[in-house]
Amino acid sequence: MAAEENPLDAYSRVVTGVARTLLPSVASLAVTGERRGRTGVVGTGSAVVFTSDGFLLTNAHVVGVSSRGIASFADGVEVGYTVIGRDQLSDLAVVRADGSTPPPAVLGDADDLTVGQLVVAVGSPLGLSGSVTAGVVSGLGRSIPAQSGRTVRIIEDVIQTDAALNPGNSGGALADANSRVVGINTAVAGVGLGLAVPINATTSRIVTTLLRDGRVRRAFLGVATSPAPVPPKLAEKIGRSKGVRIVHVEPGSPADVAGLRPGDLVVTVGGEPVTDAQALQRRMFAEAIDVPLPITTFRNGAMVDVIARPVELADQA
């Protein structure tokens, strides 16, 4: 009778397999720009090759307002890169290498993730090549306020994981056990808080738009949400048990002006049911700018109807 496999051995094989597959496709970025009148490195981060013709995916806050930099790969190759586009509201940016790159990573679908699932973070923290940490999915559908200069952005629908992240991990890959990239790590909320922008239908639309136009016209509502169960009586009435609760309303935002409040359970937006953050996020594109948006929430045991008018998100450069 064969001896039973040690679970830690199986765990190690998964992590080392993901690392072996993805490390070649993850670059360390040296972001160049001007500081005190001199041109040089103004920041570092990571990026993931996702096409065979040299496009890499990273965080918008990694590249900042810079237009160029240097990408270094695990095999020692260094190439210049050019920023193609950035979208601060999703914290995603696309850059293109000026030379050849390793084969692209395989993109997965974060909508298939479940809480407790093993994930592996691969990046180049603080310019050090080949950092790998592992953990589990701690939460899905999170929203976080993130400071960008004097403006607070709400990054929607993020993945929370206990895989350790450092600032230089931002822009690196979060992968499942099959080495598919399901998220782009972001340390924008602070050191040690494991968060990743999901790879799914909504972010795929963002990336496609960045590749085509270099920017994404976004509508801004000004709320952060979190997944929440629907109270039993309401669930029986509306026919669903999952929803999202507003946990933050940006002062002076369209949501604030409309009368939305922290604690509101979002029931419908534009007449459509809301069961997750994506249902709201999918509406926040150009076609929603300055258009009245009916929103129904559940507050203190009663339905509350408001009309919000999202504005165009400025300062996307």
Closest C-alpha to 280, from 170, 118, 191, 157: 157
CA angle at residue 109 from 182 to 204, to 5 degrees? Answer: 90
For residue 169 the two structure tokens come to 């991990």
Closest C-alpha to 223, from 93, 315, 111, 310: 310
Query: Is the C-alpha dihedral spanning 43, 169, 202, 248 positive or negative?
Result: negative
22 Cβ partners below 8 Å, 6+ apart?
48, 105, 120, 122, 173, 175, 179, 181
CB 311 within 8 A of CB 291: no
Q: Distance (Å, rounded) from C-alpha 155 to C-alpha 144?
A: 5
Residues recognised as catalytic: 61, 91, 170
Closest C-alpha to 151, from 83, 198, 90, 88: 88
Q: Distance (Å, rounded) from C-alpha 223 to C-alpha 19?
A: 36
For residue 114 the two structure tokens come to 């479940």
Strand 265-269 relative to strand 242-249: parallel, antiparallel, unpaired? antiparallel
Query: At which residue do the structure tokens 């240097």 appear?
Result: 70
